[in-house]
């Protein structure tokens, strides 16, 4: 009995040994019969389907033969060879790839790795009711698709062939290396022009003039656009502007021709702001952060925003209403950065108004206080002055023996705030207008020369006097397309352009003497060399023979008026390139220089 392993057989044997011999052995295995029956049913079903397919094929063949035999439009009979019935094959499940260029770009922007993307997209597809068996969502597939989309973008280089004069931008920036081994100096290189703005490359450099110039020249040569480069837009650092070995000089030498020097006007104004700040609120600490702003940021959690002060009672000058209207007007426009709008709102509050679009004032939490963040100085100063009474009370309650720490508000903070709203706001928000640049710079210089505050006047003139790039003999040609310039002044511009002899080698910027400033106009800086401006931009000079009053209807002038706004006189394009590259280098999928 122990040798019988099948329970059914063992039970049958035990029943046979009992009295009456229960049970009997049949002649057919019922389980086997059921299995064979199911097999036969499947076979019959296949045969039935095959018969149906054969019948359908025969009908199609008969139809084709009938059409062939009754056709009389063809001069020759054509043999019709019917195809055999299709073979039934096991169809492999389709794999739909959902990593489109748009999805790939979104994953890049949000710094999602391939593996994380697979984990996110799979349940998302299931929730939408998609059959995930039909989707190719493995990490390796996603990786291949994203690389392919990047490669397709790289192929755009071959198709980039602008037919307009281009401005070359660059801006070095320290960024983390792809190997997480310290930082590297990256150099986003871009071009802009009439309807054109494109990042060309983001190579690594050592920040010095010669290798930087060589790298830039190599990049524009690879893109085959060297002959289209007509202007340079740059930050006014010594590396870029050196008269003998700066990047600008080296690029002109490499290209074999003179170029327009469009110094970044925002960078110029940042230097102006920094000079005035240092003159009014000198800092003795070597810390990268400004101590007074650090203390104000610590106070911020305790601020009551409905308890603020304004300067409208103290300032009774004519310019206040003009600046208030100017700021409210700019608040009705869109701005590329939030801190631009924040500066305008703070200026309105400082002057006693309510910012456009708000029912009551709202001041944002203070941000970075690093010395290198120029805009932060203006924003912090206005916030600190607006909440000065609360800040002073908070400082008194702090346990500290340091007199410096106890001093809540810097003594001349109000003077710095007045400089911001009276001079800086207008200059900053009009800086991007290329045609108005010569006139705006001269007007600002004249206004600062009349300022009664000695510290503001001297520090402001010193900073601005070193950066008169837009009054040079060539670049001053922008003024020809300044719609706000008086007609009489345009006559003088044309007259000097025809008759005034210029320098043999005109410098890219000029020095303005405060002594004879009252007698200077934009036309005073125009010479025969100004015609080079029109030549560089491929603008027909024929409109110069027409009365300036009729320039608006002249086709040659209209063509130039469309081209000049395409000259970006701020390096914001390079700054946007820096931000984009920073996001890209932080992306976990970016592991090689070829992907940048």
Q: Provide the strand spans (E) within 194-304.
A: 196-201, 204-205, 229-234, 260-263
The answer to whether 522 touches 479, Cβ cutoff 8 Å, is: yes
278-325 per-position pLDDT tens digit: 999 987 766 767 888 888 999 999 999 999 999 987 887 889 999 999
Q: What's the mean pLDDT when you consider all of the chain?
A: 84
Measured CA to CA, the distance from residue 365 to residue 300 in angstroms comes to 7
Tokens, residue 417: 């705030």
Give the pLDDT band of residue 230 (cuts 50, 70, 90).
very high
Mean pLDDT of 159-177: 85
Its pTM stands at: 0.72
In this prediction, residues 462-476 reach a mean pLDDT of 96
Is residue 578 pLDDT above 70, yes or no?
no
Query: Can you give the pLDDT at residue 65?
Result: 46
Q: Phi and psi for 591 in degrees, rounded to 5?
A: -125, 0
By CB neighbour count within 10 A (0-12 exposed, 13-18 middle, 19+ buried), where does 7 fall? exposed
| Domain 167-264+571-595: assigned CATH number | 3.30.420
- pLDDT, tens digit, for every residue of 103-137? 887 787 677 888 888 888 888 888 888 877 778 77
- What's the confidence (pLDDT) of residue 180? 61
Nearest-10 crossing angle of helices 437-449, 454-465: 150
Q: Domain limits of the chain? A: 1-62, 101-154, 167-264+571-595, 435-564
**Can you tell me whether residue 185 is helix, strand or coil?**
strand
pLDDT (0 to 100) of residue 76:
46
Q: Does 169 have pLDDT greater than 70?
A: yes
Report the share of the chain in percent with pLDDT over 90.
50
Q: Locate 198 and state its tokens.
A: 């494109």
Quickly state the pLDDT bin for 404 (edges 50, 70, 90).
very low
CB 423 within 8 A of CB 455: no
- Label residue 474 by pLDDT band (50, 70, 90): very high
Report the pLDDT value the prediction gives residue 205, as an integer from 0 to 100. Answer: 83
Average pLDDT value for residue range 209-227: 93
Q: What is the pLDDT of residue 585?
A: 60
Q: How far is CA 530 from CA 43, 99, 266, 494, in A?
A: 94, 53, 24, 10
Residue-wise pLDDT for 37-96, tens only, equals 777 777 766 666 666 666 665 555 554 444 444 444 444 444 444 455 555 555 555 567
Are 282 and 455 within 8 A, CB to CB?
no
Reduce the DSSP state of residue 532 to 3 states and report it: helix
Which of 291-300, 400-409, 543-552 tops mean pLDDT?
A: 543-552
CB 268 within 8 A of CB 430: no
Give the C-alpha separation, 220 to 191, whole Å.
Answer: 9
Is the per-residue pLDDT at 465 higher than 70?
yes
Question: Do residues 532 and 196 touch, judged by C-beta distance below 8 A?
Answer: no
Say what percent of the chain tops pLDDT 70: 79
Q: How far apart are CA 182 and CA 175, in angstroms?
A: 9
Whether 277 and 377 have beta carbons less than 8 Å apart is answered as: yes
| Residue 224, phi-psi category: left (phi > 0), alpha (psi -120 to 50), beta (remainder) | left
Q: Which of 8-17, 183-192, 264-273, 419-428 has the lowest mean pLDDT?
A: 8-17
List the helix and strand counts (H, then E) for the chain: 24, 8
């Amino acid at each position: 009995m122990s040798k019988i392993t099948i329970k059914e057989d063992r039970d049958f044997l035990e029943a046979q040994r009992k009295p009456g011999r229960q049970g009997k052995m049949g002649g057919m295995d019922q389980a086997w019969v059921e299995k064979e029956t199911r097999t036969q049913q499947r076979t019959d079903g296949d045969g039935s389907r095959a018969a149906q397919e054969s019948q359908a094929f025969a009908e199609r063949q008969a139809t084709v033969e009938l059409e062939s035999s009754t056709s009389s439009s063809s001069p020759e009979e054509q043999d019709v060879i019917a195809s055999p019935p299709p073979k039934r094959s096991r169809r492999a499940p389709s794999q739909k790839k959902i990593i489109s260029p748009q999805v790939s770009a979104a994953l890049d922007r949000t710094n999602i790795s391939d593996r994380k993307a697979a984990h996110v997209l799979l349940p998302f597809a299931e929730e939408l009711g998609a059959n995930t068996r039909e989707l190719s969502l493995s990490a390796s597939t996603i990786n291949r698709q994203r690389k392919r989309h990047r490669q397709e973008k790289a192929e755009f280089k071959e198709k980039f062939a602008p037919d307009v004069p281009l401005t070359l931008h660059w801006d070095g920036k320290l960024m983390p290396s792809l190997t997480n081994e310290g930082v590297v100096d990256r150099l986003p290189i871009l071009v802009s022009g009439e309807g054109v703005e494109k990042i060309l490359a983001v190579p690594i450099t050592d920040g010095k003039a010669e290798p930087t110039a060589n790298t830039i020249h190599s990049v524009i040569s690879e893109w085959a656009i060297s002959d289209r480069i007509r202007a340079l837009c740059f930050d006014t650092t010594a590396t870029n502007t050196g008269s003998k070995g700066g990047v600008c000089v080296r690029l002109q030498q490499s290209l074999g021709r003179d170029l327009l020097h469009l110094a970044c006007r925002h960078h110029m104004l940042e230097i102006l702001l920094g000079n005035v700040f240092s003159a009014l609120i000198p800092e003795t600490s070597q810390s990268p952060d400004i101590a007074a702003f650090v203390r104000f940021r610590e106070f911020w959690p305790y601020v009551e925003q409905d308890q603020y002060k304004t300067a409208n009672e103290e300032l009774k000058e004519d310019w206040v209403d003009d600046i208030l209207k100017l700021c409210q007007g700019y608040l009705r426009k869109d701005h590329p950065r939030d801190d631009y709008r924040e500066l305008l709102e703070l200026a309105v509050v400082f002057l006693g108004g309510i910012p456009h679009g708000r029912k009551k004032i709202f001041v944002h939490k203070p941000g970075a206080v690093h010395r290198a963040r120029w805009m932060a100085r203006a924003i912090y100063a206005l916030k600190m002055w607006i909440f000065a009474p609360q800040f002073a009370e908070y400082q008194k309650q702090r346990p500290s023996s340091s007199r410096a720490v106890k001093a809540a508000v810097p003594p001349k903070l109000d003077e710095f705030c007045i400089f911001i709203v009276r001079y800086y706001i207008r200059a900053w928000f009009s800086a991007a207008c290329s045609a108005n640049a010569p006139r705006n710079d001269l007007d600002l210089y004249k206004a600062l020369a009349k300022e009664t505050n000695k510290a503001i006047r001297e520090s402001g003139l010193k900073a601005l006097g070193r950066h008169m790039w837009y009054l040079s003999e060539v670049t001053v040609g922008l003024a020809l397309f300044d719609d706000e310039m008086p007609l009489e002044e345009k006559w003088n511009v044309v007259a000097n352009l025809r008759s005034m002899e210029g320098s043999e080698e005109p410098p890219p910027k000029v020095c303005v003497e405060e002594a004879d400033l009252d007698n200077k106009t934009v036309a005073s800086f125009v010479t025969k060399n100004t015609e080079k401006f029109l030549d560089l931009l491929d603008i027909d000079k024929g409109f110069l023979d027409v009365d300036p009053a009729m320039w608006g209807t002249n086709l040659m002038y209209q063509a130039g008026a469309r081209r000049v706004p395409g000259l970006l006189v701020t390096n914001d394009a390079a700054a946007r390139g820096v931000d984009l590259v920073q996001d890209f280098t932080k992306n976990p999928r970016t592991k090689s220089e070829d992907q940048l």
